[in-house]
Structure formats: structure tokens, C-alpha cells
């Protein structure tokens, strides 16, 4: 089991105990091989796609919560926490949002989306990824419609709207490639200081941690840097992809890498959770998005536990 009964008790009071989480969505919710693993091994879930903007409000003012509600209902029925993912993201943005060129219109569109979505799930969501992936690798803001029209203000607008819509939810900024020293993590940390100085209601940093085997050594040090902000820290989308082709040596190295990332979070008091971005390799986004890599998760294509599972479990069982 990837969370102890003691940790599970912690979930009920939303303490800062580490919880392990995974993702679920329309493609996996009816696969009992997946849901049985989620029921027994994980304390919380994130929707992989169905809570994203185009799935909920593809046409302005027309909200469709069918798919997102089924994930929420599954979580509630099975006593799992849910992380809301994600509100303002440059990817999968409906054309009617992408086409906006003036500040008042875009401000109101962001506020409406957040009011309606976060408001619907008020009191039911443990944490929201309010803004996601705002930086380029060089530390410049990404040229999204949000930044083009509103500059950095879009971040303040989004966080303030989310806090107003659900004062109890933890509000996160999410980003990938915070796992290495460099301009991206520097820019993220500088942004967080500015947000804190302006009194923007931010509670956490989500480090996605889509990692490549052989390139995970800097993770503990970078997580510690994130924790110096005094915000909650979470690993929100962990997977460790293997450069093809996969063999036993690489799978053993993946076990060590999973153990070390898990231990890195456990050793930081402000690190409150680890979400793996999927259960079985069968459904991982890596297959389609990063085809030079394979086998990123802790269960294989046939739902068998991999060495990676033992790595996570060993780290959780031997918390220092
Ligand atoms: C990915 C999902 O896994 C895919 O199924 C979907 O088609 C696209 O999004 N960073 C994120 C996640 O914040 O939302 C992405 O998830 C993976 C990268």
C-alpha cells in the first residue's frame, strides 16, 4: 500500500502529512484494474483532462460538468481527496479565449470561469492548480493569451478569484522542469516573492516532476529551494520516463529514482503530497506525447507492480 493507515487518518484533517495521489479520468474510470488500485493504494486523485477549460467551458457561457462531476463523485464515494487541475493554462485553450485582445474582457472571462468552476466544487477540493506552466525554459513568461493581454496581472486575478470562490481550498501555482537549477526555477521563485509581497493568496507550489531517468539527481535540492518560500510544496505529476528501449537495468534504476524523489518530499516538512501522473504505463500520456520514452509509472501495461512501486513503498515505509 502506498499510504499507511496513519497517513490515511491524516487526510481527514487535511494535515500536512504526505499523501500519495494518482490521476483518473474518462478513459480509466471504468477500468476496474485502475480503480481498484486507486481505492487501495492512494489517498487522493486528480482528473487528467476533464477539469480543464475546454472540457468544461468550450463555448463561452456554456458549462459542461458531466465528466468532471463523475471524477468528483468517484472521489467522494471512495473517500479520496481531490486536487483540482487546472484553471488557467496556455494549453488546450478554447479559440474564443485565445482570440481576446483587451484587458477588461479577458479579466472577466478568467473571473467567470474560476467563479463557476471553483464555486461548483467549493468545499470539496483539497487544492487547486490555479495557474499552470506560466514560464518558458529561459525564465521568461510564456507568450500565452493571458500574458500577452494582462502581463503578470493574470496571475493575481486568477488567485484572487479562486480564493473568493472557495476560501478553504489550497491555491497552487504549477510548473514543470523545476527539478533542475536554472532560469526557470529562479523565475518561479522570484514570481512567488512578488506575489507574496502583493498579498496575492497563494498557498503552494506544485512541482510537476515529469522526469527522465538519469536526470533526477537535483530534485531534492530544488524541492528544498521551493520550500524556502514557506508555501506548501507538492510533487503534482510525477512520472519517470525511460529512454527506449526498456530493460531490467533501467527498471532497477527507475526504482532507485522513484525512492529518491519520494524520500526528497518526505524529508521536507512543507512537502505535503506526491501525485503520480497515472497508475499503469498502459494509459500514460508519455506514450503519445514523448514517444522516444516508455514505461514511466509504477504499474506496467498489464497492471503488474514494477520495481518502481517497491521504490516508492520502501521510501514511504522507511521515513526518517
Ligand atoms: C496531459 C494529460 O496527461 C493528457 O492526457 C492530455 O491530453 C494533455 O495533458 N502538464 C500538465 C498536465 O499540467 O495537465 C498534462 O497532462 C501533462 C503536462
**CA of 287 relative to ligand 1 center, distance in Å:** 12
Mean pLDDT is lowest, of 9-18, 30-39, 74-83, 289-298, for 9-18
Catalytic residue among 41, 48, 175, 237: 237
Q: Whose CA is nearest to atom 4 of ligand 1?
A: 285
- C-alpha distances in Å from residue 27, one per residue of 24, 31, 299: 8, 8, 17
Domains (range + CATH), the chain:
44-208 (3.20.20.80)
Active site (annotated) includes residue 237 = yes
* C-alpha cell belonging to residue 304: 503488474
- C-alpha distances in Å from residue 55, one per residue of 47, 85, 252, 286: 11, 12, 38, 21
**CA of 91 relative to ligand 1 center, distance in Å:** 9
Write out pLDDT tens, residues 141-164: 999 999 999 999 999 999 999 999
Q: Which of 237, 238, 279 to mutate to test the pocket of ligand 1 (most atoms within 8 A of CB)?
A: 237
Global pTM reads 0.95
Please state the atom number of ligand 1 nearest to the C-alpha of residue 25: 5
Active site (annotated) includes residue 133 = yes
Write out pLDDT tens, residues 90-117: 999 999 999 999 999 999 999 999 999 9
What is the chain's percent helix, strand, coil content, to nearest 5? Answer: 40, 20, 35
**CA of 176 relative to ligand 1 center, distance in Å:** 11
Catalytic residue among 41, 133, 175, 313: 133
Please state the atom number of ligand 1 nearest to the C-alpha of residue 132: 13
From the number of C-beta atoms within 10 Å of its C-beta (0-12, 13-18, 19+), residue 40 rates as: exposed
pLDDT top residue among 29 and 20: 29
Tell me the average pLDDT of the chain: 93
CB 223 within 8 A of CB 252: no
Res. 15: pLDDT tops 70: no
H helix or E strand, kind and range, residue 316: helix 307-317
Q: Which of 135, 239, 277, 283 to mutate to test the pocket of ligand 1 (most atoms within 8 A of CB)?
A: 277
Write out pLDDT tens, residues 123-138: 999 999 999 999 999 9
Please state the atom number of ligand 1 nearest to the C-alpha of residue 174: 13
Amino acid at each position: 500500500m502506498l499510504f499507511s493507515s496513519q497517513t490515511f487518518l491524516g487526510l481527514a484533517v487535511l494535515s500536512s502529512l504526505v499523501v500519495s495521489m494518482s490521476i483518473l479520468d474518462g478513459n480509466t474510470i471504468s477500468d476496474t484494474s485502475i480503480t481498484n488500485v486507486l481505492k487501495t493504494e492512494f489517498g487522493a486523485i486528480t482528473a487528467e483532462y476533464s477539469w480543464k477549460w475546454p472540457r468544461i467551458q468550450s463555448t463561452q457561457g456554456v458549462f459542461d460538468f458531466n465528466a468532471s462531476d463523475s471524477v468528483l463523485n468517484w472521489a467522494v464515494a471512495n473517500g479520496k481527496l481531490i486536487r483540482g487541475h487546472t484553471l488557467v493554462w496556455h494549453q488546450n485553450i478554447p479559440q474564443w479565449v485565445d482570440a481576446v485582445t483587451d484587458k477588461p474582457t479577458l479579466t472577466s472571462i478568467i473571473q467567470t470561469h474560476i467563479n463557476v468552476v471553483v464555486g461548483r466544487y467549493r468545499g470539496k477540493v483539497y487544492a487547486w492548480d490555479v495557474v499552470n506552466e506560466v514560464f518558458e525554459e529561459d525564465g521568461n513568461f510564456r507568450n500565452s493569451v493571458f500574458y500577452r493581454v494582462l502581463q503578470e496581472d493574470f496571475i493575481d486575478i486568477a488567485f484572487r478569484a479562486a480564493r473568493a470562490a472557495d476560501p478553504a481550498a489550497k491555491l497552487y501555482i504549477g510548473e514543470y522542469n523545476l527539478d533542475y537549477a536554472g532560469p526557470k526555477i529562479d523565475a518561479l521563485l522570484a514570481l512567488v516573492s512578488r506575489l507574496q509581497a502583493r498579498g496575492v493568496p497563494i498557498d503552494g507550489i506544485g512541482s510537476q516532476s515529469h522526469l527522465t531517468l538519469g536526470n533526477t539527481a537535483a530534485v531534492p535540492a530544488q524541492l528544498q529551494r521551493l520550500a524556502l518560500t514557506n508555501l506548501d510544496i507538492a510533487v503534482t505529476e510525477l512520472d519517470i520516463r525511460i529512454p527506449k528501449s526498456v530493460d531490467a537495468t533501467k527498471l532497477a534504476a527507475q526504482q532507485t529514482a522513484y525512492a529518491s524523489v519520494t524520500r526528497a518530499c518526505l524529508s521536507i516538512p512543507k512537502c505535503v503530497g506526491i501525485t503520480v501522473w497515472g497508475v499503469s504505463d498502459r494509459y500514460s500520456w508519455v506514450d503519445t506525447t514523448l514517444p522516444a520514452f516508455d514505461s514511466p509509472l509504477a504499474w506496467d501495461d498489464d497492471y503488474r507492480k514494477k520495481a518502481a512501486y517497491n521504490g516508492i513503498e520502501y521510501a514511504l515505509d522507511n521515513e526518517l
